[in-house]
């Protein structure tokens, strides 16, 4: 009876083929994962903006969303500006606000996820939702969710407080490209 098994040459060829495939597929998988993180964080942001808008109307007080960043993370905090205080999402969930300001939600995105937020408007990195019909100030607020490997989504919040999402560079499929 003949012995069965694999030879050292067959094993070496198999390992070489697997290594070549891994080198070719690895970057594509990283890009896919990064683009999915961008989508996920953007979707959470849109949900939180809609929530802040509806809560401002429900509570009958202005709700604010403040965006910040440092070398470790980008973040935002949703809070009710009641009395005197200060809020910073860099402090972390549950401890972001001091004084009589009421923290509603804090989201922190570590930079090692390779996704960052960048908020801008004609005024500041802060958007305020008014209790009268949930309108927002400023009316030209936008937040870019950018992946360092691949993917860029922009959430624009208009004066009525409604968010819309587009892809400025077309890098995220199934999302309309920004005009």
In a domain, residue 177? The reply is: no
CATH of residue 72's domain is 3.55.40.10
C-alpha 64/C-alpha 79 separation (Å) is 5
Number of domains in the chain: 1
In a domain, residue 174? The reply is: no
- Residue by residue, DSSP assigns 34-70 as HHHHHHHHHHHHHHHHHHHHHHHHHHTS-EEEEEEE-
Given this model, what pLDDT does residue 1 score?
A: 62
In a domain, residue 152? The reply is: yes
Q: How many CB atoms lie within 10 A of CB 112?
A: 8
pTM of the model: 0.82
The first and second tokens of residue 93, run together, are 């969930």
- Give the strand pairing for 152-157 and 163-166: antiparallel
In a domain, residue 18? The reply is: yes
In a domain, residue 75? The reply is: yes
Starting at the earlier edge strand, list the strands of the sheet with 73-80: 102-110, 73-80, 63-69, 126-129, 136-137
Given this model, what pLDDT does residue 109 score?
A: 96
C-alpha 159/C-alpha 141 separation (Å) is 9
pLDDT in tens, 31-78: 788 888 999 999 999 999 999 999 999 999 999 999 999 999 999 999
In a domain, residue 48? The reply is: yes
In a domain, residue 176? The reply is: no
Percent of the chain with pLDDT over 90: 65
8 A C-beta contact, residue 65 and residue 52: yes
In a domain, residue 45? The reply is: yes
8 A C-beta contact, residue 116 and residue 81: no
C-alpha 18/C-alpha 61 separation (Å) is 59
Categorize the per-residue pLDDT at 27 as very low, low, confident or very high, splitting at 50, 70 and 90: low
Look over the chain and give the mean of its residue pLDDT values, rounded to a whole number: 90
The whole domain housing 87 covers 8-166
């Amino acid at each position: 009876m003949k012995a069965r098994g694999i030879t050292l040459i067959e094993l070496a060829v198999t390992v070489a083929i697997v290594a070549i495939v891994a080198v070719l597929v690895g970057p594509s998988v990283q890009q896919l994962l990064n683009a999915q993180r961008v989508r996920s964080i953007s979707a959470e942001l849109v949900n939180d903006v809609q929530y802040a808008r509806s809560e401002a109307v429900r509570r009958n007080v202005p709700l604010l969303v403040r965006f910040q960043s440092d070398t470790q993370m980008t973040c935002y905090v949703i809070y009710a500006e009641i009395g005197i205080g200060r809020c910073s999402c860099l402090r972390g969930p549950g401890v972001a606000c001091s004084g009589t300001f009421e923290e509603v939600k804090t989201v922190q995105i570590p930079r090692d996820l390779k996704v960052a937020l960048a908020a801008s408007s004609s005024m500041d990195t802060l958007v305020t939702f008014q209790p009268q019909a949930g309108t927002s100030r400023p009316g030209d607020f936008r937040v870019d969710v950018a992946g360092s490997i691949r993917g860029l989504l922009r959430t624009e919040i208009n004066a009525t407080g409604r968010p819309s999402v587009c892809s400025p560079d077309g890098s995220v499929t199934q999302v309309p490209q920004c005009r």
